[in-house]
Amino acid sequence: MPTLVNRSGDDEFYCGSSLCSADFSHILSLGYADVYCPSKKRRCLPNPFVVEENSKMEILPDECLFEIFRRLGGGRERSAAACVSKRWLMLLSSIRSSEICKSKSHGDGAKAVSDCEIECDGYLTRTVEGKKGTDVRLAAIAIGTWSRGGLGKLLVRGSNSMCGITNAGLSAIARGCPSLRTLSLWDVPCVGDEGLMEIAKECHSLEKLDLCQCPSISSKGLVAIAERCPSLTSLTIESCSSIGNEGLQAIGRHCTLLQSVTIKDCPLVGDQGVATLLSSAPTKVKLHGLKITDFSLAIIGHYGKAITSLALSALQNVSQKGFWVMGNAQGLNTLASLTITSCRGTTDVSLEAVGKGCPNLKLMCLRKCCFVSDHGLVAFSKAAGALESLQLEECNRITQIGVVNAISNCGKLKSLSVVKCMNVMDLTPEAQLLSPCESLRSLSIRNCPGFGSNSLAMVGKLCPQLYQLDLSGLCGITDAPLLSLLDNSKAGLAEVNLSGCLNLSDEVVFALTRLHGQTLQVLNLDGCRKITNASLVAVANSCTFLNDLDVSKCLITDSGLAALSQGVQINLQILSLSGCFKVSSKSVPSLRKLGKNLIGLNLQQCNGMSSSAIELLVEHLWRCDILS
């Protein structure tokens, strides 16, 4: 047989010395138009012997070819044979690893045994996307990875619309890649239970299964995985309309090592499937858009002793009672992270119960929980004594009072994020009786249009040890309260994001560089339209360790960049000047000097820069990614 050295990363077959010497026009004339042979620089000379050999082989029935192919000594010989035609490729891919003849008494046989041992390790990862998603491609992967470490991870993203992946392609992977440990199938409508059952039959080491938009796969295929893949540790099922309770129940009964479970938008999944699935004691659980009721949350509360991370979203049939029972069941003692999104059952009463029932909760994220108010947030913050991170997004009943009281009550809180909470208004409650939160290091209040200067001044008094500050999108704040916050920050700010704060002036940058210049690493002033060259001069003189600076849409000119290029900063790697219309081609020398360390430079919408100037920068700053 002709030999072929397969070294392509995509496991596509290409010609070595023997096979390329064949007259491929003759092979194509036999009707096998799927032969893959990329063009080579070296001319291929015809070899009549090889052509005659292949022609004689083609007339053999599949049964004879099967017996010949399963006696091939190693990976090179199998790859060479697979390159002859689609028929040979598919026949080779139909041979299970257990059916390959192995003889320890001969050199070739020993090589085959060695190949099989290597294959069992499962080192290789392959990703197939879009138009490349065909059965032929999967068969080629199955053959090509057989002797090169074995396929351990396969990800399929989409499928060819004309001749997409079917059960045949997945079966080829199953037969040729028993070492497979991770299988991810996204948007492959033609793959059904037959292909998944073949995976279950051959790939007993499967650990991670990810199915998304696979309407032809039902509980029958999932049952096969459960019964034959006891090593399964991670299961993700999303938008699979045919998978229901029976499949999840089988997983719960048989896969005792299961650690991570994600079930999303599966209309046939209900309480029975989720309850049995949780009996396998997973540590990470995500449930989204399911028709489960309070019963499932009660099961989680009672039997979720191993759960450390729980995410519940869009559970429209779960009421306040379900969350209340989940908290009061006292079974979530190890829960460290809880995310609740768009669940109408999350109320003040149920939130307080969750806080009391999860003594080790460190991260709490509430998104679009429209029935949670200040009362529930304050009660929760008092009950959750171990809380370190609190994230609130689009919770529009929560006001400034709830936020500042949560800061004051959480003695271990390290990070607070408030995003798009429209009812956080600029009120002036008394803050003298509130205790500062010495542990808070990261504060993010973004896109809350009602949050103004009074609120900022009060928050500044409560957060003296900030390391990260993000106030992006707060167009209502002014210089004075922010200056007070900067003055109260004793630890030294390292990351500051003030993008979209339209009313801030150079005075803020002066104070920031004076008080925190030796710790500041990231500064974002995007859209601060009152910031001028004076701010760049202050940055240049004080911020030694700054590595990311964004002054997009600011009043920056060539002289400001000239000052920056003469500054003390030695680590500046990213500079954004997008929309600085007063920056012209005269800044090329300054940017070249700054570019010694730059890896990213944004010059988009800098209309004063000519195309020739930008080309010059691209030529000299070849290590820098320049956007223009």
265 phi/psi in degrees, rounded to 5: 50, 50
- Residue keyed to tokens 């040729």: 176
> For residues 232 and 259, what is the distance between their CA atoms, to the nearest angstrom?
8
Counting every residue written for the chain, the total comes to 628
Query: In this structure, are residues 383 and 355 in contact, taking their beta carbons and an 8 Å threshold?
Result: yes
Of 103-107, 427-431, 452-456, 572-576, give the lowest mean pLDDT range: 103-107
DSSP 422-488: TT--------TTSPP-TT--EEEEES-TT--HHHHHHHHHH-TT-SEEE-TT-TT--HHHHHHHHHH
Query: In this structure, are residues 477 and 500 in contact, taking their beta carbons and an 8 Å threshold?
Result: no
> For residues 382 and 293, what is the distance between their CA atoms, to the nearest angstrom?
28
> For residues 428 and 393, what is the distance between their CA atoms, to the nearest angstrom?
22
For the chain, the 3-state helix, strand and coil shares in percent, each to the nearest 5, are: 40, 15, 45
Of 7-11, 380-384, 599-603, give the lowest mean pLDDT range: 7-11
The 10s digit of each residue's pLDDT in 195-210 is 999 999 989 999 999 9
Name the band, by pLDDT with cuts 50, 70 and 90, for residue 33: very low
Name the band, by pLDDT with cuts 50, 70 and 90, for residue 363: very high
DSSP 57-81: HHTS-HHHHHHHHTT--SHHHHHHH
Q: How many CB atoms within 10 Å of residue 75?
A: 22
Grouping H, G, I as helix, E, B as strand and the rest as coil, residue 89 is helix
Nearest C-alpha neighbor of 258 from the set 286, 237, 232, 230: 232
Residue 60 is predicted with a pLDDT of 63
Residue 430 is predicted with a pLDDT of 56
The continuous run of DSSP H or E covering 247 comes out as: helix 245-254
Q: What is the 3-state secondary structure (H, E, C) of 146-204?
A: CCCCCEEEEEEECCCCCCCCCHHHHHHHHHHCCCCCEEEEECCCCCCHHHHHHHHHHCC
The continuous run of DSSP H or E covering 271 comes out as: helix 271-277
Name the band, by pLDDT with cuts 50, 70 and 90, for residue 445: very high
Residue 78 is predicted with a pLDDT of 65
Residue 452 is predicted with a pLDDT of 83
Average pLDDT over residues 468-495: 92
> For residues 491 and 436, what is the distance between their CA atoms, to the nearest angstrom?
14
Query: In this structure, are residues 397 and 371 in contact, taking their beta carbons and an 8 Å threshold?
Result: yes
Of 20-29, 46-55, 214-223, give the lowest mean pLDDT range: 20-29
Q: Are strands 260-264 and 151-157 parallel, antiparallel or unpaired?
A: unpaired
pTM comes to 0.82
Q: In angstroms, what is the C-alpha Rg of the chain?
A: 32
Triad 488, 489, 490: Cα angle to 5°: 105
144 phi/psi in degrees, rounded to 5: -70, -30
Query: In this structure, are residues 231 and 203 in contact, taking their beta carbons and an 8 Å threshold?
Result: no
Amino acid at 176: G
91 pLDDT exceeds 70? Answer: no
Of 32-36, 96-100, 296-300, 316-320, give the lowest mean pLDDT range: 32-36
Name the band, by pLDDT with cuts 50, 70 and 90, for residue 450: confident
Instruction: Kindly state the DSSP code that residue 127 receives in the 8-state scheme.
Output: E
The 10s digit of each residue's pLDDT in 340-351 is 999 999 999 999
Residue 56 is predicted with a pLDDT of 55
Q: What's the fold here for domain 507-628?
A: 3.80.10
Alpha carbon 481 to chain centroid distance?
A: 38
Name the band, by pLDDT with cuts 50, 70 and 90, for residue 42: very low
Q: Percentage of the chain surpassing pLDDT 70?
A: 78
30 pLDDT exceeds 50? Answer: no
The highest-confidence range among 151-165, 417-431, 485-499, by mean pLDDT, is 485-499
Instruction: Please state, rounded to an integer, the average pLDDT across all residues of the chain.
Output: 84
Residue 292 is predicted with a pLDDT of 97
Amino acid at 82: A
Residue 114 is predicted with a pLDDT of 41
Residue 25 burial (10 A CB sphere; 0-12, 13-18, 19+):
exposed
The 10s digit of each residue's pLDDT in 393-422 is 999 999 988 998 898 888 899 999 999 998
Q: Where are the domains of the chain?
A: 17-117, 507-628
> For residues 123 and 524, what is the distance between their CA atoms, to the nearest angstrom?
42
Name the band, by pLDDT with cuts 50, 70 and 90, for residue 15: very low
Average pLDDT over residues 295-306: 94
Query: In this structure, are residues 251 and 211 in contact, taking their beta carbons and an 8 Å threshold?
Result: no
> For residues 65 and 83, what is the distance between their CA atoms, to the nearest angstrom?
14
> For residues 561 and 243, what is the distance between their CA atoms, to the nearest angstrom?
60
1 pLDDT exceeds 70? Answer: no
The continuous run of DSSP H or E covering 310 comes out as: strand 309-313
The highest-confidence range among 101-110, 471-480, 507-516, by mean pLDDT, is 507-516
261, β-bridge pairs: 235, 285
Instruction: Kindly state the DSSP code that residue 309 receives in the 8-state scheme.
Output: E
Grouping H, G, I as helix, E, B as strand and the rest as coil, residue 34 is coil
Average pLDDT over residues 117-135: 75
Helices (H), 14-128: 17-20, 24-29, 48-58, 62-69, 75-82, 86-93, 107-119
Q: How many CB atoms within 10 Å of residue 428?
A: 10
Average pLDDT over residues 271-286: 93
Across 220-240, b (16+ Cβ under 10 Å) vs e yields: bbbbbbbebbeebbbbbbbbb
The 10s digit of each residue's pLDDT in 552-599 is 999 999 999 999 999 887 789 999 999 999 999 999 999 999 888 899
> For residues 55 and 30, what is the distance between their CA atoms, to the nearest angstrom?
8
Query: In this structure, are residues 342 and 348 in contact, taking their beta carbons and an 8 Å threshold?
Result: no
Grouping H, G, I as helix, E, B as strand and the rest as coil, residue 416 is strand
Grouping H, G, I as helix, E, B as strand and the rest as coil, residue 367 is strand
382 phi/psi in degrees, rounded to 5: -75, -35
